[in-house]
Amino acid sequence: MRLQRGFNLDPSCKLWLPFYSYDKNVSKIYDMSGNGNHGAITGATPMVYPIVGGVELVNNGNFETDPNVQWTPMNGTIASVAGGQSGNCLQVTMVSAAYQGCTQNLTTLNPLKRYRLSIWVKSGTSGNELFQFGLESGYSLQGTTSATWTYYSLIVSGLNSVASIYKMTATAGTMLFDGFSIQEVVGNEAIGWGFDGVDDYVAVANEPTFDITNYITILCWARITNPADTQCFVSKSWSAYELFCMSSTIGFQASRVGDYRALGGTTLIQNRWYQAGFRFDKDNVSSLGEYHSLFLNGNIETLSWLNGSDTNTPLATNNAVLDVGHRSASTLWLHGGLGEICVFNRALSATEIRNYYELTRRIYGV
């Protein structure tokens, strides 16, 4: 299946990320689904641990009564029929067009909160087919039905939109749905990708977008099993730029003619989620008087230089892929998890970085 997200685009900034964005200045987007020109996944697996609560935010999600009262049919008919998980279910029957289903307007979602959408799906009289459910604003999930009830879910941001359920083919017949639910994520919940420390990684093909020399910000959420080991989060190889952990703290490498490498000052605790960040701004120094900056959980770190020193000389470029979870040439493998991985071609302000941390930390139970 493929997870699809919606974004607002602006040509002022480049961003690479796997799940979703709170920043509206985006012009280049990749996801980690391995589809098309997106990052190719090797071994890394999704990590989703939501704790949800509160009432379901859709009407008639269990379809025990006539769904036409709350839902608007699209290109087909909808009905409550026997054979659901523990009662009736929704039956979608084709009438016309390439997809059929139903929608319902949502007006109570909070844009600063996250929600889990879930549904049970089963093949009908037209056999195993493609389906889709989600929000019309761009958050949706596709899959293929089977002869048994199968559960699907995804995490979305709280943009008010239209909930939708679709049978995605023009094949005559029916498809069955049950228990469509939208609930608020209220507790420790982590979204990211798991890496085994041996051979899991994500690789995004090289392109000029990632030849960033004068202004860059890298942000990600990271959970490291053994932060004392040197492990790469995001790497354009050692000869361009990297964000990593080493000696139980975060660090960066920013290469020119020679390596410029520094570590932060906060000790990382194993298996705890942190937001890590690296920023280089050749025109402006940080509040600590440096062109290079490390951030941990939205706060700037005091740097300890291992190689080189602070300079505003532009970064080097190379032809390497952009790796997530290791450095090219099969080294510095990450054992743990990563999420919200972003690469900007501008130097985000300290306030922007802090706001991004505040907007995402609930996802990781921080």
**Chain segment 224-256, per-residue pLDDT in tens:** 999 999 999 999 988 899 999 999 999 999 998
What is the C-alpha separation between 276 and 222, in angstroms, rounded?
Answer: 7
Give the list of residues 6+ apart from residue 281 with CB closer than 8 angstroms, or none. Answer: 215, 291, 293, 347
Across the range 40-61, mean pLDDT stands at 73
Of the pLDDT bands very low, low, confident and very high (cuts 50, 70, 90), residue 133 is very high
Model pLDDT, residue 19: 34
Across the range 325-343, mean pLDDT stands at 88
Give the list of residues 6+ apart from residue 337 with CB closer than 8 angstroms, or none. Answer: 47, 190, 192, 193, 194, 195, 221, 222, 223, 273
CB-CB contact of 89 with 178 (8 Å)? yes
- Strand pairing of 174-185 and 162-167? unpaired
CB-CB contact of 336 with 225 (8 Å)? yes
Model pLDDT, residue 194: 85
Secondary element (H or E) of residue 209: none
Give the tokens for residue 213.
Answer: 């020399």
Name the most confidently modeled range: 17-21, 48-52, 200-204, 237-241: 237-241
Across the range 67-95, mean pLDDT stands at 94
52 has a pLDDT exceeding 70: no
Of 243, 104, 72, give the one whose Cα is nearest residue 180.
104
- In this chain, the answer to whether the domains covering 8-48+190-364 and 52-185 adopt an identical fold is yes
Sign of CA dihedral 178, 182, 187, 189: positive
8-48+190-364: what fold? Answer: Jelly Rolls (2.60.120)
DSSP string, 68-123: GGT-EEESEEEEEEE-SSSSEEEEEEE-SSS-EEEEEE-----TTSEEEEEEEEEE
Looking at domain 52-185, its CATH class is mainly beta
Domain ranges within the chain, ordered by starting residue: 8-48+190-364, 52-185
Across the range 27-39, mean pLDDT stands at 38
Secondary element (H or E) of residue 335: strand 335-344
